[in-house]
Chain A
Amino acid sequence: MYNNVTPPPPGQSALYKAREPIYPQLVSGKFRTIKWVVLVFALAVYYILPWLRWDRGLDAPNQAVLADFAGGRFYFFFLEIWPQEIYYITGLLILASLGLFLVTSLFGRVWCGYACPQTVWTDLFIAVERIFEGDRNARIKLDRAPLSVNKALRKVGKHIVWLFISFATGGALILYYHDAPTLFANFFTGDAEVSAYVFAGILTFTTYALAGTMREQVCTYLCPWPRIQAALTDEHALNVTYRWDRGEPRGAHKKNTSWDGRGDCIDCNACVVACPVGIDIRHGAQLECIHCALCIDACDTIMKRVDRPTGLIAYDTDKNVQARSEGKPAVYNMLRPRVILYAFLIAAISCIMVYGLSTRSTFELNVIKDRSPPFVKLSNGDIRNGYSIKLVNKKSEDREVLITASGINGLDLKIIGNDDTDKTIIMSGEHVDRFRILITVPEADKHKSGKHLIIEAKDVATGDIQSNRVFFAIPKRDD
């Protein structure tokens, strides 16, 4: 197929290359509309989310989405994740990547084209640029024009709005880490923590640099994702594709002349000037291409104008373009093994997560056996083992917890700090309690019933029981 595409023009020689400015032309069409909708939706979610409230009762934060590092909690609507439950986050990340794999194997790099923050913010910044400097031709003209008051005002205005958007972006991110209304007020009265200003500053700068000045270079040079996504998509995936089987041979076309013996591409360059990464899609699939489909809209507009069917550039599979060029029918093979595998894995992990979340307890027991010494032989021959206990109370109320042990005859349990007969612990709410227990087995009973104990913690009020099976060590030489 490479015989059918023209090579890109020769580059210039230098060790380092100045960025060639790209002036994407505004297009209209189906995909441009989708991109506007996604842009508005994504930005709305990003800016509104920290302001949503969620009632969790007294003393708990009422912010719906909050990463509370100081308190060691992550809140996501009905979910409250403790540090030891970080695997839920891992699960979410695995689901997210599998979702990306699935979508990529079906539709190619739609993430890059529509949903990636770099794409969304760059699109927004280009829209601002257009407001101040006009569309492609006006911008080229303005950049070539000598400095004038008009030019300076337009440039300065653009950068001010860019900086404002950048600051709003960086400022919104820090709202996810603290109570949003409080932080918002403190930020502007100078009462917020230094880290809030530092992170807002860093994110303002990176947004400005990445979306304002670096743009497509981020995708081409910095981002590892194109390489990964390119490896995930295959000849069956729907990618933005120039259908060279229909377009070639290309050339200018005069009105009312025959289309026989030539391709539909009239070489008008509309697809090239619309491209925000500055490539010519007619050279085939390229690393730089973010598959944003703006060239499809541009080409479709032209095709309608010259009265040819649309879809000369379209979401299509490499396989089908090849098939059509050989006169075979196009087949869209969506249900492939890898698609089924991804869908199955997503379903399986979702089930595990839902199961884990629905059965998770607000009460946890962890028993750690003393390793040094493994056992203690008392002067009367009894054997004693020590255990460290960690009880987690995820409720905000206090609980009374009864500690019991079973599994070996005649054992005696003592909680350090309690009187000999008192086997209960009062746990405060939202708290992790650590304490020690000693379990003594009489010499006469030590071999009688196994070497394992069940230690149970029972919430006296609710009857909720958590248990751990632990080892009880006895001296080997007595066996």
Chain B
Amino acid sequence: MTDNKNKDVDAFSGVETTGHEWDGIKELNNPLPRWWLYVWYATIAFSILWWILMPAWPALPGFQGNTVGVWNQSDRAQVGEAVGELRSARIENAQKLMSASLEEIEKTPELQQFALAMGESSFGDNCATCHGAGGRGAIGYPMLADDVWLWGGSLDDIQQTITYGIRSTHDETRYSEMPAFGRDGFISESEIDDLVQKVLSLSGQEANTDAVARAEENFEYQCASCHGVDGTGDRTFGAPNLTDQEWLYGGDASAIRETIYSARNSIMPHWNERLDEATIKALAVYVHTLGGGE
């Protein structure tokens, strides 16, 4: 409380001024409480302590990127630990998934909910890139929510497809190969044109009846062994049904022509090396419940 006689005191408020003056306006000196200052000192002390305990200084030469601090704190290690804890917390349900049959999973509400939650997130990470969110599909990538299945839509079929893939590099993969009739010269261009009309007629679309008649012999000879004489396909070979209105690569004349000319043998990778069995089971249940499951 040293009273300085030279201090300027504002007459109206009785508060001392700081001595600063702008255009006749003086700044009052209303000091903060001192504990406020102490709190500030405490934060400084805390920050120094923090430098010592925690990783703080990045890009320091000789410190391998950053100072590590004496606590050896590492976000990466913590995340790893948290993931490990999550895994062990889930192991009980995952084991139930492993021991239950796919049908049992679907019939037991708790298991079904667990499998759907697990399946949905794995689907988003692994499958949705090609098959779309909710399995809505895209040209060349089958829709999984409808009732059209190239290789079968039962729970076991779906599980097998996910596990080993289609035309994948796995030994047990499902495999078939449609010949490139035009590119490899099996039949002539005009014969292909006629076959296009035949396929259009099979699916109930408008077609040239003369061309369809000309194509009958070729269809029986080249196509029927896989797609059937009536064109309804065969799941043993993953041969699509040509009489419905669902098309993997498009159902108009030009798309059909391209399919016959060059063939379409798309590949789905096998997932058994990347996903564990419980995840694949959950995925099978999820895909099955999207709506198309048989």
Contact = CB atoms under 8 A, between A and B. Distances in A.
Determine the main DSSP class of B at the interface with A.
loop
A12 B3 contact: yes
Contacts of A17: 31-34
A14 B31 contact: yes
A16 B40 CA distance: 12
Interface stretch (A227-235, A250-258, A329-337, A370-378): A370-378
B146 interface: yes
B54 interface: no
A14 B33 CA distance: 10
A214 B35 CA distance: 9
A373 B14 contact: no
Interface stretch (A22-30, A58-66, A354-362, A431-439): A431-439
A376 B106 contact: no
Q: How large is the interface on A (under 10, 10 to 19, 20 to 34, 35 or more residues)?
A: 35 or more
B234 interface: no
A381 interface: yes
A11 interface: yes
Contacts of A377: 146, 245-246
Contacts of A9: 14
A98 B9 CA distance: 43
A11 B292 CA distance: 82
Contacts of A386: 134, 145, 290-291
B132 interface: yes
B145 A15 contact: no
Interface in A267-300: none
A450 interface: no
Given A16-B34, A221-B36, A384-B291, A372 B133 contact: yes
A19 B148 contact: no
Determine the main DSSP class of A at the interface with B.
loop
Given A373-B136, A416-B289, A379 B35 contact: no
Contact of A7 (B3, B13, B147): B13
Interface in A433-451: 433-436, 438
Given A17-B33, A435-B109, A371 B134 contact: yes
Interface string B10-41: 00111110000000000001111111110000
B1 interface: yes
A377 B3 CA distance: 90
Contacts of A438: 291
B37 A16 contact: yes
Interface residues of B, number: 44
B147 A10 contact: no
Contacts of A57: none
Contacts of A13: 4, 7, 16, 29, 31
Contacts of A11: 14-16, 29-31
Interface in A382-430: 384, 386, 416-417
Nearest to B40: A16
B135 interface: yes
Nearest to A428: B109
Nearest to A7: B14
A48 interface: no
A8 interface: yes
A47 B292 CA distance: 60
A417 B106 CA distance: 5
A435 B115 CA distance: 12
A70 interface: no
A373 B143 contact: yes
B4 to A, nearest CB: 7
A425 to B, nearest CB: 8
B160 interface: no
B112 interface: yes
Contacts of B246: 377, 379
Given A13-B7, A373-B135, A376-B291, A7 B16 contact: no
A166 to B, nearest CB: 18
Interface in B171-208: none
B129 interface: no
Given A16-B33, A17-B33, A373 B134 contact: yes
A376 B32 CA distance: 69
Interface string A15-41: 111110000000000000000000000
A16 B135 contact: no
Interface string B122-154: 000000000011111100000101111000000
B33 A379 contact: no
16 contacts: A8-B13, A10-B15, A15-B31, A17-B32, A18-B34, A221-B32, A373-B135, A373-B137, A376-B292, A377-B245, A381-B245, A384-B146, A384-B291, A433-B109, A434-B113, A435-B112
List the 4 closest A-B pairs by CB distance, nearest first. Answer: A373-B136, A372-B134, A17-B31, A379-B244
Given A12-B16, A386-B291, 14 more contacts: A11-B30, A13-B16, A16-B34, A17-B34, A19-B34, A221-B33, A372-B133, A372-B136, A373-B143, A377-B146, A379-B146, A379-B245, A379-B246, A435-B109
